[in-house]
Amino acid sequence: MRMPMNKIWAGIACVFVISTAFLHSSNISENEMACLVCNGNSLMGQLKNASTIMWFGAHPDDELYTGGTFGYYTRDLDGHLIIVSLYYNPGYVESNIESAEFLGNATYIRIEEQLGVKLPKCRKWIQLDEIIRELERKGVKDYIKQLILDYKPGIIFGFESTNGFRHSCQHVTMAKLLDEAVKELKKEGYDFFSYYYILNRDPNWFGEENMDPPPVTDIIDLTDEMWNYKLTLFDIYSKFYPDLKNETKINSLEHREYFRRVEIKQISSEKDIFPKGSYVKAKIEGSIPTSLLENDGITGFLLDVSWNKLEPEEGVYNWESLDARINEATSHGKYIFLNIMAGGVNTPNGVINKSETYTFIDTNRYHKSYLE
């Protein structure tokens, strides 16, 4: 049987990925693993076998980050790409049309436009959980699930759901909604798709401090043709982002794209994700969970206490337990704060921000040994 030319070229590209991955292997950290075999389980292997794939981003331009891979899939493999953006910007529609046409007449869906409602945006990390809940109430997660069921993609791509490619809470908003949609679909028995995060592991994009965390499961080294696909998307959106025409910037970027395959057991719950600088509620009775003590995003803990007076009283709380919580936190480099507003306190659940209008008192003032 004569093999179609697009499959032959896919095999050639696959060999290229293997060879270049070995050539660049010195750049891979010990926590990262390049996918060096193009079998059915690798991303490249799955792209060859998928008739449809879906990309879920926050903004109607986010597909450019993975333009090399998407260009290869749509132009070399003749696959059908569905591009989904959470938000809608009328000024970007013309560029969206141009991008979709270049990517093999991809389907471009803007959720905000389709739902016909104005959707809230995360402006500060402290808003993340609230915005996600509001978007769920407006039906966004259910709409994502329905799109997946309607198009039945072989592969779903989204942002990494703690950092969002460039430490963007709007990217993470969409990533978290997609995480939950995927998790629910898998639990409901739908198993026709694989799920991948696209990753930023190139410090020249937005700085090393804004890179996504490892691990990496798949690296696609871009051929000259694939790199030109990416540059075409840069050109399409450069009217909004002049840096995409900056030769110095472009020449500094790696000619590779990074991915992480995600299994359902690896998807964190919303409550497990804390932006850097978070203060989290804890109880005096019972140890603070190790997962919270070791979470790099958490700076300190607010002990959920209140008194009828501004000064603590013996017999009201177990001071040995308070000592234990303080020792747990400080041994992990965390702070503990007490809110001692007279007449009690009603603080929000989950993550709170030290800059909010609450009174925080360093508990070292009330440490048992200090009182004695």
Domain borders along the chain are 5-271, 276-371
More confident of the two residues 303 and 15: 303
**151-182 tens-digit pLDDT:** 999 999 999 999 999 999 999 999 999 999 99
CATH says 5-271 is which class? alpha beta
What's the whole-model pTM score?
A: 0.66
User: Residue 184 in 3-state DSSP?
Assistant: helix
Q: Per residue in 210-235, pLDDT tens?
A: 999 999 999 999 999 999 999 999 99
At 16, is the pLDDT very low, low, confident or very high (cuts 50, 70, 90)?
very low
Which residues have CB under 8 Å from 158's CB, separation 6+?
55, 56, 57, 174, 175, 178, 179, 195, 196, 197, 198
H runs (alpha helix) in the chain: 5-23, 43-49, 67-71, 93-102, 111-115, 128-137, 140-151, 169-187, 203-206, 224-237, 247-252, 290-293, 319-331, 368-371
**Six-digit token string for 177:** 């909604």
Q: Quick one: which of 267, 74, 232, 236 has its CA closest to 160? A: 267
Confidence bin at 297 (pLDDT 50/70/90):
confident
Could you count the other beta carbons within 10 Å of the beta carbon of residue 81? Answer: 22
Q: Which one, of 6, 248, 207, 177, lies nearest residue 104 by Cα? A: 6
Task: Round to whole Å and give the CA distance between 255 and 205.
Answer: 12
User: What angle, rounded to 10 degrees, do the helices at 93-102 and 224-237 form?
Assistant: 160
Tell me the HSE value of 33 on the side-chain side, using a 13 A CA sphere: 8
In whole angstroms, what is the distance from residue 172 CA to residue 175 CA? 5
pLDDT exceeds cutoff 50 at 313 = yes
Alpha-carbon distance 65 to 248, whole Å?
A: 18
Q: What pLDDT score was predicted for residue 327?
A: 86
User: In sequence order, which residues have a C-beta less than 8 Å from that of residue 7 and are 6 or more positions away?
Assistant: 48
Q: Which of 5, 16, 41 is nearest to 223 (CA)?
A: 16
Q: How far apart are CA 86 and CA 173, in angstroms?
A: 9
C-alpha to C-alpha distance for 239 and 245, rounded to whole angstroms: 9
* Separation CA 83–CA 105 (nearest Å): 11
pLDDT of residue 319: 67
How does residue 317 score in pLDDT terms, banded at 50, 70 and 90?
A: low
256-261, strands of its sheet edge to edge: 107-110, 80-85, 52-57, 155-159, 194-199, 256-261, 218-221
Q: Is the pLDDT of residue 2 over 80?
A: no
Residue type, 18: I
**Per-residue pLDDT at 195 exceeds 50:** yes
The pair of structure tokens assigned to 212 is 């996504």
